[in-house]
Structure formats: C-alpha cells, structure tokens
Structure 1
Amino acid sequence: MSQRRKFIKQSLMGSAVFFPGLAGAFSQSLEKFDPQREKPLLLSTWNHGVPANAAAWVKLNETGSILDAVEAGVRDTELDMENLSVGLQGLPDREGITTLDASIMRGDGACGSVAFVRQIKHPITLARAVMEKTPHVMLVGEGARQFAIAQGFTLEEEKLSPKARIEYDKWKVTSQYKPIINIENHDTIGMIGLAADGKLAGSCTTSGLAYKMHGRVGDSPIIGAGLYVDDEVGAATATGLGETIIRICGSFLIVELMRQGRSPQEACEEAVRRLVRKSKNIQDIQAGFLAINKDGDTGAYAVHPGFNFAKATAAGNVLLDSKSHF
C-alpha cells in the first residue's frame, strides 16, 4: 500500500471531510436535506472517491444535473497523477500500453461506454458523447478513437507516466501474469448519484487490470456489470476483478434485487454471495459493490476487508469502510 494511501486512510477514515470552497456548496443544499432520505447523495468507490465527490458536488450545484455531476466527479480522478488505476497515468497492459474503459448512465435508460481506448484523457466524457451523439451504446478500440477525433477530442502522446514506467519495469523482471485484485493494484472509480428531484445517474472509469493481456476489457464499460441505473428503482456500481463481476451481471443484479424489495445493503450482500459461489481462488479476488435506492437508502459490501467508499450529502463528505463477506 502506498504511503499516500496510508496517509489518506489514517487521516480520513470514518470522518467528515470538507474541501476548500465546499462549505457554501453543501450549505446551499441543506434545505433539501432529509436525514431519513438523503437527497442529494453521491457514493464513490475507494478513497479517491472523496475528492471525486467534492468535484461532483460543485458541478451539481452549478448545473443541477446529476449526470453532469457524476461525469465531473470521475473526470477529477482521471487526472489524478497519483492514481495508477484510472486515466492515462494508469498501469499498462502486458505490452506496456495503457488502455482505458468507461461508462455512464442515466436513470431513464440512456447510456454510453467506451472500451480498449488509447490516448484519450477523459474516456468518461467520450462515453457520454457515445450516449448523446450516436445511436449506439458502446464503441471500442480504433473505432472509439476515430469517433473521439471526429468529436474534437485531443489525442494525448502515448507514453507511460513516470510512476507507471517504474512499476512496469519492475513487473517485466518476472512478467508473471497473476490477475490478483486488491486495493493496492486496482482502484477503479465508480460513482452513483441521486439528485434532490429523484433523478439518478452513474459513471465508471478505469485503466483496467494491471499487466492484462492486450485487448482485455473488464466490467467497468459494460452496462449491467460495472454500472446500472434505473430511476424507478435505484443504482449500483462495482469495483474489483471485472471477470467475476461480469459473470454475475453484478450491478444489474443489485438493481433487480432492489426492484424485488431488497434494501440496497441486502442486494449488495446477495451479489457478493453469488460472486463468491461462482468464483475460483476466491482468496485472491477482491470485488465490492455500492448501491442507492430511489429513496436515498444506501448499501456497500465486498468480498474481503479493505474496500472503502466515499459518501457525500448536504451534511458532509465522508470516507467509510464497507463490510465484507470474509
């Protein structure tokens, strides 16, 4: 675990965290805040969810759009040079190439995603462009890159960030392909949000599994796996070993369980139980889920201890530990 992560975890765990300039933003929403049914509300995976929530909250107050908020929040993480699992600074695949995946979804069913994308600084914004400017849901690889160019996106120079280069050179000494997921080597950010008017939206972005096979795509850009949102029910997002999440359609499963009457917490726990039953070598696999229902109730659950998440409401922006199956 990096010294930075240790510092953040020790400093923020379980306490309200405010950022400069946000006190006013939060107080502006106090009159909308119901302590029993928290709206507006943002949930984000891992400790980088705290600054992501902060950026999202500012955008929500600027535009009133929960979709704008969840995009802006994870864009902040995509630019975080300390984060080696999101954005172009993320750890590369086995060939030394960084490829990115992202998805975004509104509660009315509109959604867009991109996968196996290179040289794009903000894949989440490209995913939104797919949603809003094409008849498709997903674009991948060279096709997504061509679409980005047509939409005026700037292609970034293709090179590893300094920290990613150091880690990749270390990995090449043995080049062992062991896709073991934990909080030290894979921190996808997923964000789901509920506006004061009851509208829901979500976003998910990642550079994927470190040292993956070239062309591998995880759960993050797959609607229903890494992200699913339905205004009639709620929203869910996932993090962890994508293959295990894809196999159970994790986020869709959680939303459907909530539709059937489960609470967000109960739905997250059932999703983890199913993932555990269907996965081999579960001792080496981490996966976690977050959920919100349309009333503002929340849930979080993981396979193993170590998964944390950020929760922002009008009362504050707090980092919390999730409960786990083991």
Structure 2
Amino acid sequence: MEATSIRATTTKVYVMNSTAFKFKKNYLSFRKSVLLRSPMDTKSISLNSIRAQQSTTTMAETDYKNELKIKEWEVGKFQDERRLPTGPPLNYVCPFEFRLVNEDDNTPRDILEEIVWNKDKEVSLLKERMPLDTLKKELENAPPVRDFLGALRKSHLRTGLLALIDEVKKAYPSRGVLRKDFDPVKIDQAYEKGGATCLSVLTDEKYFQGSFENLEKIRNAGVHCPLFCKEFIVDAWKIYYARTKGEDAVLLIAAVLPDLDIQYMTKICKTLGLASLIEGVQLVGINNRNLGKINTRHLLEGERGEVICQKDIIVVGESGLFTPSDIAYVQDAGVKAVLVGESIVKQDDPGKGISGLFGKDISP
C-alpha cells in the first residue's frame, strides 16, 4: 500500500485509525473499497512527498478511484498536500477532521507556508461565527456577477494590447507599505480611468493590509471593471464569502491547494458564475516575479502553446512587470493580459503610471 502524510517527509503518523473518519450514511458503499492503515500495524510509515515535500494522508486507492466523481468530493480522497501546524484539526473541503502528532518544530519553511497556516486558523474562526449554510443565504443579496473573462477577451481583441488587471495593494510582506495615502476606491477609479480592464483587490489583512471591506467598498462605489478577489484560499468558505462582497473572479493557487480541491473549488466558481484564475482552465496565471528563473516564453511554446491556442485559454502574466520592455516581453511570449500592482500603485497618479508602464496612453 502506498502511504503518504500531510506533513513533511520526516513526519510520522501516530493517531490515525478508521474511527478517525466519520462517513455519511449515503457513502457507506465506499467502505469496502477504501482501506485505511492502522498505526498499530507499524511503528513508522515510509512517506512520499507529492508537491514540494508536502503530501497526503494515509490511504489506499483501489476500485473506488474510478467510481469517485469530482462532484462527490465530500467523500473524496482523504488528501491534503499542505504541511499544517500541530493543534487545530485539519479542515478539509470534505467533512473529515483529525489530528496528527508532529515531531518537527512546526516552523513555517517560507512566507507562503506561514500565510497558509494563518489562513487555516483564520477560516476556522470565521466558520464558527458564520456557518456555510448561513453564508449561502447571504448570496441572495450579493450584486450580480460581471463577466471577468469576457472583459479580458474583448479588451485584447479591441485594442490588440495586453488587457490590464490593475491591483489594489497597500503593502507587501518583504517591502512593507507601498502607499501610505491608501484609498482603495480612489485608486481603483484612477485605474479604471487610466485604461484598466479589470481590478484585483488584495483581501489579506495580516500580510498585505487588505480586507474584504475594501472589496465591498469598491464594488459599492460603482466601479464598472470586474473585480478579482486576490486571496490565499484554503477553504471553499472563502469563495462564498468573497461573492457576498461583490467579487467576479477568484484566485486558486496551485502551490497551496491539492488537485482535487482545485477541481472542486473550480466547480463552485462555475456554479456561482465566477471566473477562477489558477496559478487552470480558461484563465491561467504565470507569476513572473523572478524573471531570471521563470521563462514565460518557454512556458507558452510547443505543445503547451498549441493546447492554449486550441482551447482559447487566456494567459495572464503576473508580477515583476515594471517597464514597457517587461510588457513587450510577456506579450511577445503569448500572454494576453497582465496583472500589475506595485509598479502602478506606488505612483502619485496611478493613471499616468499605467501610461508609463505601457509606454503610451491606453485609456478608452
């Protein structure tokens, strides 16, 4: 049996057995085909890493793998590829929760993992205050969804230029506050006037000094550009919550979410009418933060490029864009839209910042 763990490869599983999982009655038919290894059978388990030495819970994939459909992800694979801190139970999209004992010192390996751990705790508290059933009722009062994907396509076809997704970002973990006189509504209005097609709003409070209140304020201010909620989503609850605040599109980070979670959350987005940007798959994001190591042009050549053209996928170049030559680089690579924050939000006049980035006035 192939065994894996949600911890790093040095982690050992101690407190898992079949009673740790509470199956719903209508899924009992899967019981015979899902085998869970008891920790009493062995003192340690050889662990395999799935993504960046982050892995999954102990399980066997047998006949049920072919029977299980994504729409039944409530039972799903007992899988999470994030290395979580010891303490609170692991929160899945599905209804299973359990605790693992970790021998490590539980120090985040990098800023992304630190943010994700914080998000796990944050969403647990939010779900206690507002259960999902209650949150879903709030959707009735949400403003209508606008076509984020369509707006990007129309802009690119109309102008022949890269469609611009401008970002409202007050701070960055490694750079501190980017703009002290931060007024999200005024900034977005300037973005829209300057030629932005869509707007991205950072909603993380602890690390980026953003908020869902900013998202709601911008939507209620009458900004016409579709809004992209840029959040570190680790639980489907946040997708519903962002929709109540007026989002039109949402970010799903491949380095954070297990594959089945991404597929499940993508289905939720489709149900709500939202576009999902996956970093996909009508909308794909390539992060250019380190242009010295990430070759955007190479990523869009050959077989990948053919698939992207055949499926009419919009590729968004994200981050690391500061000059007209940067814009020319990603456009030449095949990118059809760019998401830009820091290089424009720091300008006294964001509208002029857009013109400076593109090397010309792109306002309508």
Q: TM (normalized to structure 1)?
A: 0.28
Higher helix share: 2
Q: Which has the higher contact order (CA 8 A, sep 6+)?
A: 1
Higher strand share: 1
Give the number of the structure whose alpha-carbon radius of gyration is greater: 2
